[in-house]
Structure 1
């Protein structure tokens, strides 16, 4: 009897163990399925964010990157009251206002106001649309400057900042630079196609209708893209708990300062060709309007490849280049292009001007994609010091620094164009009224690369000065 009970007891235990094993196996299978489902959903959202971030480059940057066409139209068909030269700083001011406002907007939406990102982006769309629509009825140059150079830029910045924060949060440090590079490539696609579109619209329908059509494009594309870029779940729930303060420890790092100085110099030179290349092609090189539009498109087109390339180079582990080395390549090569290609162009020399547009556009257009490497370096330094860092806020700060460069470059460009000619051969561009602009573009780009390689070491600087 005892033996029979013992046998039944063993059988019941074996059955219970089997049932537990089966239950564990089923639970593990369900867990794996849930993990796979969540991973697939996350991948779909990441793809949606990437595509939406690419689309939204059109309303944000389309006008600023095509402003040279408007600048050319204004100079040929002056219908406004006021100083003509002010139109030369509208494009660079728009870029400057956008970038300068980004640190403040990134700070607002990175944590406490994270749940309002999509709402804020939609509000920015409304502001941008109203600004472009009102600019179609401008009668004075200051009204044009206020609507196109300031108000529309504030609206576009309000679109850009929340959506770019979400992009950086959906992509981790291992592939963030590549994601930024792909999105920046889309930005350069916009810069390549929009000049032709704007030129065609102006020639066919005139200035006012073109701006009204652009208003519709900004509104439609922005709404579609914003709906495709959800806020990361980790940020949506922040308002339900006590929001943490933004960590500012990175301001004690020397890296942030020499990178900021480099970005200021690079950006001050980068905006000059975007604004004046089209008018230079017409006034000095004596090329047609179509050629001027082509120069602007060729200036932006290489950035499509360059942004993805420099983003990949910043993330690549097979070619172990430092963030300093990668970020120094674009400005130094841009400087060489300005000196040897733009500076040596002459009347009717469309070939050399095309080479300049493509080489300068490639290296300067891909510069922003190197920021992913800068962010990784500063994040790594923070980890070594056991400090917290917010990559989104850091990226916004770099954009703000770039705004300083754009604004200063635009103001300097307006003065340099009035400065006269450099004492040199009148045969080349250096000897034209654009000579000071070309020299400024090359020197500012060169300093932007030199500062990064120098690593801003005061002791080394003083040693060199003593030897000199």
Structure 2
């Protein structure tokens, strides 16, 4: 994912490895007097490898723990949303609470390109400091939100400030994670495994947290529950930050650059001249605009339209997130395997079209008491839409291949950051549009089915935005026809 420092880190590690191996080889080829030295060098090499594996295991543990404070609130926000609507005590419009969850996701994703650019090299030594500041900001924002008296207080503290704090934890720790797992003899597959594990942990968080939040709200009420969450987020954030130090090679490189007056190569922006990047960026914006809506409104929909219990409504969010654990690995595999590799446009189209069909045929046709149909929608949409971001590896590979054909440099880390930024734009846009769409639905509500309820416009928007998330395959087909003619 974050490959900005990959080449330098790998080259340094390869030089160290080759030097160590040459010492061992020379010692082994020596006379009998060199036997002790060869054994000592071999033992030292084994000890270093064991220590490196232990450190990587701790770093992976830290990255997995960090998924809880970063995503725990936004992935379970639907439970908060339902509680706010049913226990309203604030001034202002209740409908405005619908933008908090999507805004939180949007702010995190929109911040990634900027924070990645800052902490990749020049501010690399300040990563842990910035992450700790972010953890404090997020915890303080959640604590302040418990004193809210107006709905805009919630939007500002939970939707914006807490999300900025989470982004400050996310970006530095993720950069360091990528560097530690790209330095093992230059083998990038270890980095892929590391990111796969952390992404799976993110979905585990999304599966468990709705029930935890529900229990906190029912037993302690909103204000105490948010304060408890602030403490949990702070503690787990600090623990994960201490477990993920900045790679020493990065710190050494940064020190050398500072001594030399900081001469840094600029980021290559050639990809901005090519249409392919914009096709995928627009697709991500559109898909993300619809993806965040079920996360925010499913529990409320289950209670108001299908008249399900609170437990069933919470179960929907859990079922929505569980399939993402498998989907992320599957869609990443489809984009990058040696048996039947599929193009990025094909994989994104599979994800987009199947999730759109789930919205149109399952969510839109639910009625009172339709728990089975809503569960099927949560599983299907959660699987296909949840795996969409895992297709970005194939997208970046395609952009890299295009850059190679034009003999241009490309920075995969910056590409990934910009794709995350596009996802953030989609989240924020979907959240802002959901309020007028819900209002329009309340004016034309005529029946008990999903389409004819207050949520009808939201369901249609979710399905349509999902469809256009796979429009890249249509663009590719039109380009092929033009070449033929």
**Alpha-carbon shift at residue 218 of structure 1 (Å):** 0.3
User: 2:117 matched to 1:102?
Assistant: no
Equivalent pair of 2:445/2:454 in contact (CA under 8 Å) = no
Equivalent pair of 1:131/1:151 in contact (CA under 8 Å) = yes
User: 2:133 matched to 1:123?
Assistant: yes
**Alpha-carbon shift at residue 463 of structure 1 (Å):** 10
For 2:310 and 2:82, the matched residues in 1 are separated by: 9
TM-score of the aligned structures, taking structure 1 as reference length: 0.89
Distance 1:450 1:219, change over 3 A: same
Alignment of 1:45-124 (within 5 A): 45-124=55-134
**Alpha-carbon shift at residue 36 of structure 1 (Å):** 4.0
* Aligned residue among 299, 302, 309 for 2:320: 299
Residue equivalent to 1:4: none
- Between 83-92 and 241-250, the greater mean CA deviation after superposition: 241-250
**Alpha-carbon shift at residue 29 of structure 1 (Å):** 5.4
Count residues with an aligned counterpart: 448
**Alpha-carbon shift at residue 201 of structure 1 (Å):** 0.6
Residue equivalent to 1:200: 215
**Alpha-carbon shift at residue 371 of structure 1 (Å):** 1.8
Distance 1:20 1:89, change over 3 A: closer
Flag structure 2 segments of 5+ consecutive residues without an equivalent: 1-27, 183-187
**Alpha-carbon shift at residue 32 of structure 1 (Å):** 4.9
**Alpha-carbon shift at residue 424 of structure 1 (Å):** 10
Distance 1:289 1:168, change over 3 A: same
Residue equivalent to 1:439: 460
**Alpha-carbon shift at residue 234 of structure 1 (Å):** 3.2
Equivalent pair of 2:336/2:342 in contact (CA under 8 Å) = no
Residue equivalent to 2:239: 224
User: 2:298 matched to 1:288?
Assistant: no
For 1:400 and 1:19, the matched residues in 2 are separated by: 55
For 1:145 and 1:359, the matched residues in 2 are separated by: 30
Residue equivalent to 2:178: 168
User: 2:422 matched to 1:401?
Assistant: yes
Give SS of 2:121's match. Answer: coil
For 1:273 and 1:79, the matched residues in 2 are separated by: 24
- Between 42-51 and 377-386, the greater mean CA deviation after superposition: 377-386
Residue equivalent to 2:18: none
For 1:454 and 1:220, the matched residues in 2 are separated by: 47
**Alpha-carbon shift at residue 166 of structure 1 (Å):** 1.8
**Alpha-carbon shift at residue 49 of structure 1 (Å):** 2.5
1:191-233 Cα offsets, whole Å, 9 max, x none, are: 1111100100110111111011101110111111111112223
Residue equivalent to 2:204: 189
**Alpha-carbon shift at residue 26 of structure 1 (Å):** 6.1
**Alpha-carbon shift at residue 461 of structure 1 (Å):** 8.6
User: 2:333 matched to 1:333?
Assistant: no
**Alpha-carbon shift at residue 280 of structure 1 (Å):** 0.3
Residue equivalent to 1:266: 287
Equivalent pair of 1:281/1:287 in contact (CA under 8 Å) = yes
- Between 225-234 and 115-124, the greater mean CA deviation after superposition: 225-234
* Aligned residue among 153, 165, 176 for 2:163: 153
Flag structure 1 segments of 5+ consecutive residues without an equivalent: 1-17
**Alpha-carbon shift at residue 45 of structure 1 (Å):** 2.9
Equivalent pair of 2:335/2:341 in contact (CA under 8 Å) = no
**Alpha-carbon shift at residue 312 of structure 1 (Å):** 3.5
1:337-364 Cα offsets, whole Å, 9 max, x none, are: 1111101111111100000011111112
Distance 1:456 1:115, change over 3 A: farther
For 2:84 and 2:421, the matched residues in 1 are separated by: 29
- Between 221-230 and 425-434, the greater mean CA deviation after superposition: 425-434
**Alpha-carbon shift at residue 389 of structure 1 (Å):** 3.2
**Alpha-carbon shift at residue 157 of structure 1 (Å):** 0.6
User: Over aligned residues, Cα RMSD in angstroms?
Assistant: 2.7
Residue equivalent to 1:15: none
TM-score of the aligned structures, taking structure 2 as reference length: 0.86
